[in-house]
Structure 1
């Protein structure tokens, strides 16, 4: 991370995106000539750092060939980049095996969009066996609820909130739940139709893992509708407000627990799947 700190958020997000589609079994890493695997789906086009996973896999294979799965490597790297960005550490459970199927079409039905409302978020997490607390605490670029204490976002992910919230094309048609003083700042960075500009999700602190993003959410300065939605429910609102009060120790502890819980989604063990020799292709 000292070499490429900007890869921290994408590598963490990679773990989320892997686990929410088919489970934590490395399907997000698979590639093919037709570009029909998960990594080519629209929600995953912002993922980066696949070469880091490949480098780790190559190094591990030299020491203990055929033992460590690509899925485990993704989970461990996610933990390590959080630590490198001054965040918490947690004990990564190991023993996952790699899947052999990866379909871009499955991402849209499993990854929650940044414009999801609270009900959609809750249902999506419930399907994966996660709780309301997990919904709030893994707030690190889940593309589902957004990864927001570290990383950046394309303007296109929140453009509707600052230009055309009702869909009627009216002048000044911004999301009323967003701080009206913040909207002009975002508009100065993102022009209508902008598909390339990146905006910091936690301005001034986007390369440090901390609870500051919760402060932005309570001030109605979260980028995504999914952030604003967390204030629509009494329970999630209470968690957001708690962690906006410089409650770093509890935030770090809870985040680690939530990451462990997420890392258990749909794992393959025993004789299921395989241990890939190369992470981008099945054996």
Structure 2
């Protein structure tokens, strides 16, 4: 098994850019690619702000920050980066057809020894691995938002994933300073998000049933259950559209009405109120991301 020294992250959104920075901080050579140069510019600005904050708080030295950025390339040239990657991590939009098409292209570019991995928690490895010629080299490596902070990373085996791939992926997670949680059998949502999903769905039932409002439910979860943030606050952080797309996909597969997105979630998505990234979701936010108040439903 080739040691993982060079990483390609496809997608420079909140997750992709942070995953790339985590890898660069750990001493790996990293390329983070996107189709849109403006998206890469936004990613670099966000990362520099975060790293500067880490230096100011004494979490790293200025020299360590500079060395990490020297190892990180933000580029629109995905194909060149893919040809030398030991590990490719996809962090694109949560649409299965997009991911399958992307992996088919990446598999034709990357070395046969490269591991192909998705950051998705909603799509299991087998749903994407069938698009590549070497499914034994495919797995999911699922980070949590914010990836620069959260320690847990789920490593998920598909039906054809080899032991060697799982061992290398797990070793990679440990190398970048994260805690691997290994799933030997795939299931949509994996471990953490299935538990979070159950909490989210119950919170939405309580809200739509008129039992308690958004603030009350979030407050109960923080003060009674010890959650760092309530389910509505968390949806705003991760993006309301992410959960919405996952629910839509599951409903398309199952036909079970229980898998449909909640009415209030659908309403917010239709309005474009997707959480912190749009300035409003369940709550409203200032330009700096500070919570300001409730967003009228």
Range class of TM-score, shorter chain = under 0.3
Per chain length, whose mean CA-contact separation is higher, i.e. which structure has more relative contact order (CA < 8 Å, sep 6+)? 1
- Greater strand proportion: 2
Query: TM-score normalized by structure 1?
Result: 0.27
- Greater helix proportion: 2
